[in-house]
Chain A
């Protein structure tokens, strides 16, 4: 193991606030602490050290080194250090006088050569132009911790990895370890990251195509699709062309051959066949109808023939019936004679009994007649006496009534009226005589005159001598002379005359009515009338005693009685004859009669029955006789036989025709069945449709041809084949590009995988020793903890007892602490590999609490046992317990 690097002196001039020279001499191995407040120049010194190593002396990007406001200055840095038994002095100035001198013991290097030598030694790189950046800083970037970046380890570790590899490799080479010779490759990580970037342009992290490669694949796919489409279109186009040719030839063929016409012909035949069949069917119908008629006719004929036969049979039956009836009649007649005898006999007995009864009754009657006769004779004597009395009274009445019957009887009232009228007339007549004109006359004999007075109906003839009182004017005809009108005078004469006439008329009328001449007569007549009436009454009373019912009645009764007497005498005379002949009483005779009558009745009834029977037989026989005659008459009817024969003949003819018609029906039916009209119908429908379809298809063909023609013309206009060729070219190129890209992607992938694999393997070899060094420090900080190193050689998982957590998830302070620890571990590793290690901490651990800081001080102290460590701080009080004198920058 080499002696560790030891920086012994640092001097700066014309650099930032150090316009004048500033020198830190006598730097100690191990820990050196520099303190000063802000702006004291800590950072400027750190920057000076970095510039001395990292920046090319000719760099123009070091303006920040110039003192403020002095662009003409030439910032310079001088460093003395020892390493590996050699003494180094680096003098570098920038700006106006760029220069780099490196003395190694006695050897001198200048410019870039000197710079590259240092870069090689310390393990860092330069920026190709411009200011040096973190990625160029390599190992120092890891070990020189800038203010406030102690926790940011990962990036620095990454930039340092190449140099770590190189450092470790050179160590291995020096130790002659063949296997370890391959643990690293110079520029390997940069190469890998570049290849990865290139791979990333084509593939995703998981190896899926992306960006250009994906687009190329898609383009191939799209072009394949479009080519397929075009091929399809072309194929379709060709099919259509072929189809067009085929359709055209078919259409032409159809035009020439017109195949539907043949079918039309067939159709016509079928239709004709159908017509014929319809006729046959009609004939069949007619034949059936005819058969029906015939059957009816035959039935009729048969019935008639049967009727004929029936008639004949009936005649026979009638004869038989007649014979039977005659026989029955004879039998009835035979039974009749005894019955009659029987009846006669019984009748005689009845008559005898009747005669006996007659005699008995006569005897009885005679006895009664005799009694009656005696009573009648007695009555007659009484009646004759009464009659004599009555007749005498009757004569008296008649005599009395006779005068009265001549005149009207007067009543007392009539007499009084007449008396008054007579009185009045006499008074008026006296007055009239006193006033009236008296015409006295005396006419010659034989002479007469006629006088007509007014108020009189007839003229009064005047003859002889007399006087006429004229109470009213009167006209006196004087024959041959004229007339004399005499008008009585006096003033009241007319009235008086009227009253007198009236009274006289009344008086006359009353006398007239009463039948009297004058009043005296009336008076006498009335008196006589009264006397006669009294006498009559007496006589009428006497008559009523003798003949209460009138004389005529009495006389009649008497006559009747007389007649009866005579009749009784006669009856008695007769009755007396039979009275002696019988000994039977009436009742006995009646009883005997009754018995004989009953016997007779039975015989009579028997006879009646037989006679009735007989007459029925007679009637029956007569009926049978008549029927037989009727039947015979029917049979004997003129023309019947002819008719029967005619019917017979017709029936036979009918049977024959029936058979013929049936045969015809069968034939027709059979032929119809054979011809299958339904199938013919179907044929017609089928053929019609076929014809229609063929014609339609033919037209359709024409339409299709036109359509295809149009479609082809359109398709042809697109220049499909040309398109296809171009498309195929595009595809071929796209495929080529795709293939190239795929190949490139696959190659990049392969490279990345291989390089990565190798790198991982080499890293793994670094991990173990680094882990060891790391652990040493971690346990100073966390006694039970373990910090793992990950693939990037940076702290990974921190385990503290049962807890564990990722480095990146730790607090800022903890990360800073562990970051420093890691850097120390790197330093240990590098030192073991014989590389120079200088640790610079600028204001580190400001975020640590007192307890952690105390632990970290132990860590720092420990690291300082092996490495030179420059610690810049503005908190000198924090670092007093490290056993080192602090050097103030002031």
Chain B
């Protein structure tokens, strides 16, 4: 019974530029590790071939080391790997593929299907119809040729393509580049159409799937971090598709609105429950009293050390010292007057996200600075 591992969007060479290098590096390494895990899964499940539906590389001009490491990572599975080019690594006149070949980095069992012509895998009596992208963006359906092409009778007929199935993925409708007809599998009499481009896993229909990326690289993709094990009993039979977990890190995006102590308690509880391999993006808004704000910062510092990555967007969260806070600071005379004015200014509006710091934002920062300094002084005096 022929069995295939369907994967895509490895995006090797991807660098998470908004992260600190100490976080970005492991995440980049994780993408290579995912390939090694795929090779291991392929061995475990004794698949006949691994189908990689494009965007193997994140960019054309990745370093030679990256290219070599990628192909080295595939060494764990010595069966055939069939790779097509996607929009990130389109088979242009000069591309990452021409470089890889020039470097002699491509092992014999790795098939670079960079031309739209059937690839026949004799061992499993399977004809693979690749639809590699040879341009960064195409507006024609690169799988159109599947319909007419003949393959040996009694063989499986698998399509391998990279692009947006039209009408299914609303998000892709905007530019509608690299379109793929939704009924391509049926029209081209395919037993299975392995798709890439959508980083989350998705079933279009029984014979047409997006595998998603094996290692998540963004916060929004659902069902990413997996590969699909596809079993087809015979030509014409409906494939059995099973998702296999491959991700090393969970990418999570959280938002919280903080006003009172219980809001903070709830958030912190949730954060403490997160596993260490989480890549977290936290977006905070609201207003916190001085002590709560200090508590939050302390908790985030702990979390930052525990999670794989934490990024916090808190420009919409403002410090709101209470009257008690102010009283505790023992600010008298014109200091009290200044604090009052800053509170008023800071409450004027939410933090603008523009490049130039806004008046309110400055006022809030000023207030935080002033209160912090006063508190510090208080502590020194009382010490």
Stretch in B55-63, B228-236, B245-253, B267-275 with 4+ CB within 8 Å of A: B55-63
Query: Quick check: is A245 within 8 A (CB to CB) of the other chain?
Result: yes
Contact A191 B61 (CB under 8 A): no
Q: Does B115 reach chain A (CB closer than 8 Å)?
A: no
- Out of B17, B61, B332, B336, name the residue touching A718 (CB < 8 Å): B61
Near B by CB (< 8 A), chain A positions 444-461 give none
Instruction: Give B351's nearest chain A residue, CB to CB.
Output: A743
Collect the chain A residues with CB atoms within 8 Å of residue B24's CB: 726, 729
In whole Å, how far is A126's beta carbon from the nearest beta carbon of chain B? 11
Q: Which of B2-10, B141-149, B279-287, B355-363 contacts A (4 or more CB under 8 A)?
A: B355-363
Return the contact of B66 from the options A181, A186, A719, A732 (Cβ within 8 A). Answer: A719
Asked whether A641 is an interface residue with its Cβ less than 8 Å from the other chain, the reply is no
Q: Is the CB of A746 within 8 A of B21?
A: no
B377 touches A187 (CB 8 A): yes
A725 touching B93 in the complex, CB below 8 Å, given contacts A182-B333, A234-B61, A716-B60: no
Of A194, A720, A730, the residue contacting B61 (CB under 8 A) is A720
Asked if A241 meets B13 with Cβ closer than 8 Å, knowing A719-B62, A721-B59, the reply is no
Min distance, Cβ A272 to any Cβ of chain B, angstroms:
43
Q: How many residues of chain B get a CB closer than 8 Å to chain A's CBs?
A: 51
B332 touches A186 (CB 8 A): yes
Whole-angstrom distance between the alpha carbons of A165 and B342 in the complex?
A: 23
B379 touches A (CB below 8 Å):
no
Q: Are B338 and A758 in contact (CB under 8 A)?
A: yes
Judge whether B99 is part of the interface by a CB distance below 8 angstroms. yes
Contact A754 B93 (CB under 8 A): no
Contact across chains for A194 and B373 when beta carbons are under 8 A apart: yes
Tell whether B300 is near chain A: CB-to-CB under 8 Å.
Answer: no
CA distance A716 to B95 in the complex (A): 8
Q: A709-B94, A729-B17 are in contact. Are A754 and B361 (CB under 8 A)?
A: no
Contact of A185 among B93, B331, B357 (CB under 8 A): B331
The answer to whether B289 has its CB under 8 Å from any CB of chain A is no
Task: Tell me the bound Cα distance from A184 to B333 in angstroms.
Answer: 5
Name which of A195, A744, A751 has the most chain B CB atoms within 10 A of its CB: A751
Which of A169, A709, A748 is in CB contact (< 8 Å) with B333? A169
| Interface stretch (choices B72-80, B187-195, B254-262, B364-372) | B364-372
Interface centre among A713, A742, A750, by most chain B C-beta atoms within 10 angstroms, is A750
B94 contacts A241, C-beta separation under 8 Å:
yes
Among B13, B24, B370, B380, residue most surrounded by chain A Cβ atoms (within 10 Å):
B370
Chain A residues in 8 Å Cβ range of B16? 725, 729
Q: A248–B96 Cα gap in the complex (Å)? A: 18
Minimum Cβ distance to chain A for residue B281 (Å) = 14
Interface readout for A172-190 with B: 1 if CB under 8 Å, 0 if not? 0000000001111111101
Is B357 in contact with A743, judged by CB distance below 8 angstroms?
yes
Q: Are B94 and A244 in contact (CB under 8 A)?
A: yes
User: How many angstroms from the CA of A165 to the CA of B330 in the assembled complex?
Assistant: 16
For B342, the chain A residues whose CB sits under 8 A away are 750-751, 754
A186, B61: Cβ atoms under 8 Å?
Answer: no
Q: Do the beta carbons of B334 and A184 come within 8 Å of each other?
A: yes
CB contacts (< 8 Å) of B338 on chain A: these are 751, 754-755, 758
A560 at the interface (CB under 8 A from B): no
At the interface, yes or no: A823 with Cβ under 8 Å from chain B?
no
Chain A CB within 8 A of B341 CB: yes
Q: Please, how many angstroms separate the alpha-carbon atoms of A669 and B36 in the complex?
A: 88
Q: Does A832 contact B (CB under 8 A)?
A: no
A333 at the interface (CB under 8 A from B): no
Q: Closest A-chain residue to B96, C-beta based?
A: A716
Instruction: Tell me the bound Cα distance from A725 to B24 in angstroms.
Output: 11
- Whether the Cβ atoms of A750 and B18 lie closer than 8 Å is no
Residues of A near B365 (CB, < 8 A) are: 743-744, 746-747
Q: Does A364 contact B (CB under 8 A)?
A: no
Q: Which residues of A contact B136 (CB under 8 A)?
A: 238
Q: How far is the CA of A758 from the CA of B330 in the complex (A)?
A: 17
Given A718-B61, A722-B15, residue A751 in contact with residue B370 (CB < 8 A): yes
Complex CA gap A759/B337 in Å reads 11
- Near B by CB (< 8 A), chain A positions 236-258 give 237-238, 240-242, 244-245, 248
Q: Choose one: B335, B355, B377; the contact of A739 (CB below 8 Å).
A: B355
**A807, B32: Cα distance in complex, Å:** 76
**What chain B residues lie within 8 Å of A182 (beta carbons)?**
333-334, 336-337
With CB as the reference atom, state the residue of chain A lying closest to B355.
A739
Interface residue? A728 (CB, 8 A): yes
With a CB–CB cut-off of 8 A, which chain B residues contact A721?
13, 58-62
Chain A residues within an 8 Å CB radius of B341:
754
Shortest distance between the CB of B142 and any CB in chain A (Å): 16
Give the residue name and chain of the B residue nearest to A194 (CB): B373
A761 within 8 A of B: yes
Chain B residues contacting A234 (CB-CB under 8 Å) are 61
B377 and A191 form a contact (CB under 8 A): yes
B367 to chain A, nearest CB (A): 8
Contact check, B21 vs A729: say whether CB atoms are below 8 A apart: yes
**Assembled-state Cα–Cα distance A719/B60 (Å):** 8
Expressed in whole angstroms, the minimum distance between the Cβ of B79 and any Cβ of chain A is 29
B361–A722 contact, CB under 8 A?
no
Q: List the B side residues contacting A240 at CB < 8 Å.
A: 94
Task: Determine if B17 and A728 form an interchain contact, defined as CB atoms under 8 angstroms apart.
Answer: yes
Q: Which residues of B contact A169 (CB under 8 A)?
A: 332-333
Given contacts A241-B93, A746-B365, A750-B366, contact A719 B20 (CB under 8 A): no
Q: Verify if A715 is at the interface (C-beta below 8 Å from B).
A: yes
Closest-by-CB residue of B relative to A249 is: B93
Rounded to whole Å, the gap between the CB of A244 and the closest CB of chain B is 4
| Chain B residues, Cβ within 8 Å of A744 | 365, 369
B93 touches A245 (CB 8 A): yes
Cβ of B93 and Cβ of A248 under 8 Å apart? Answer: yes
- Give the residue name and chain of the B residue nearest to A719 (CB): B63
B337 touches A758 (CB 8 A): yes
Q: Complex Cα distance A244/B92, Å? A: 9
Interface contact B15-A747, CB-CB below 8 Å: no
Tell me, in angstroms, the Cα distance from A186 to B334 when the chains sit together: 9
> Which residue of B has the minimal Cβ distance to A732?
B18
- Kindly supply a per-residue 1/0 record for chain A positions 728-764, scoring 1 wherever the CB is within 8 Å of any chain B CB and 0 otherwise: 1111110100010011101110110011001101100
Measured in the bound complex, the distance between the Cα atoms of B361 and A713 in whole Å is 49
A717 at the interface (CB under 8 A from B): yes
A719 partner, pick from B64, B362, B377, beta carbons under 8 A:
B64
Pairwise interchain contact B361-A726, C-beta atoms closer than 8 A = no
Query: How many angstroms between the C-alpha atoms of A718 and B14 in the bound complex?
Result: 15
B135 to chain A, nearest CB (A): 9
Assembly CA distance A758 to B333 (angstroms): 9
Chain B residues in 8 Å Cβ range of A746? 357, 362, 365-366
Give, as a whole number of angstroms, the nearest-CB distance from B23 to chain A.
10
Task: Return the chain A residue nearest B134 by Cβ.
Answer: A245
Provide the residues of chain B in CB contact with A104, threshold 8 Å.
none
Q: Which residues of B contact A717 (CB under 8 A)?
A: 63-64, 99
Tell me if A516 is interfacial: C-beta within 8 Å of chain B.
no
Q: Does B112 reach chain A (CB closer than 8 Å)? A: no
State whether the Cβ of A712 lies closer than 8 Å to any Cβ in chain B: yes
Instruction: Report which residue of B369, B374, B377, B380 has the largest number of chain A beta carbons within 10 angstroms of its beta carbon.
Output: B369
Q: Are A185 and B332 in contact (CB under 8 A)?
A: yes
Q: Which residues of A contact B377 (CB under 8 A)?
A: 187, 190-191
Interface pair B94/A732, CB less than 8 Å apart: no
The residue of chain A having its C-beta at the shortest distance from the C-beta of B136 within the complex is A238
Which of these, B20, B63, B332, B369, contacts A722 with CB under 8 Å?
Answer: B63
Bound Cα distance A208, B14 (Å) = 39
Q: Name 11 extra pairs, CB < 8 A, besides A182-B333, A719-B61.
A: A234-B61, A712-B94, A713-B94, A713-B99, A719-B63, A725-B16, A744-B365, A751-B338, A754-B341, A755-B334, A755-B338
Which B residues contact A (CB, under 8 angstroms)? 13-21, 24, 58-64, 66, 92-96, 99, 102, 136, 330-338, 341-342, 355, 357, 361-363, 365-366, 368-370, 373-374, 377, 380
CB-defined A-B contacts under 8 Å, sample of 5: A184-B333, A195-B370, A721-B62, A722-B59, A731-B17
For the complex of A and B, 10 pairs with smallest distance between CB atoms: A721-B59, A185-B333, A729-B17, A758-B334, A719-B63, A725-B15, A245-B93, A747-B365, A747-B366, A244-B93
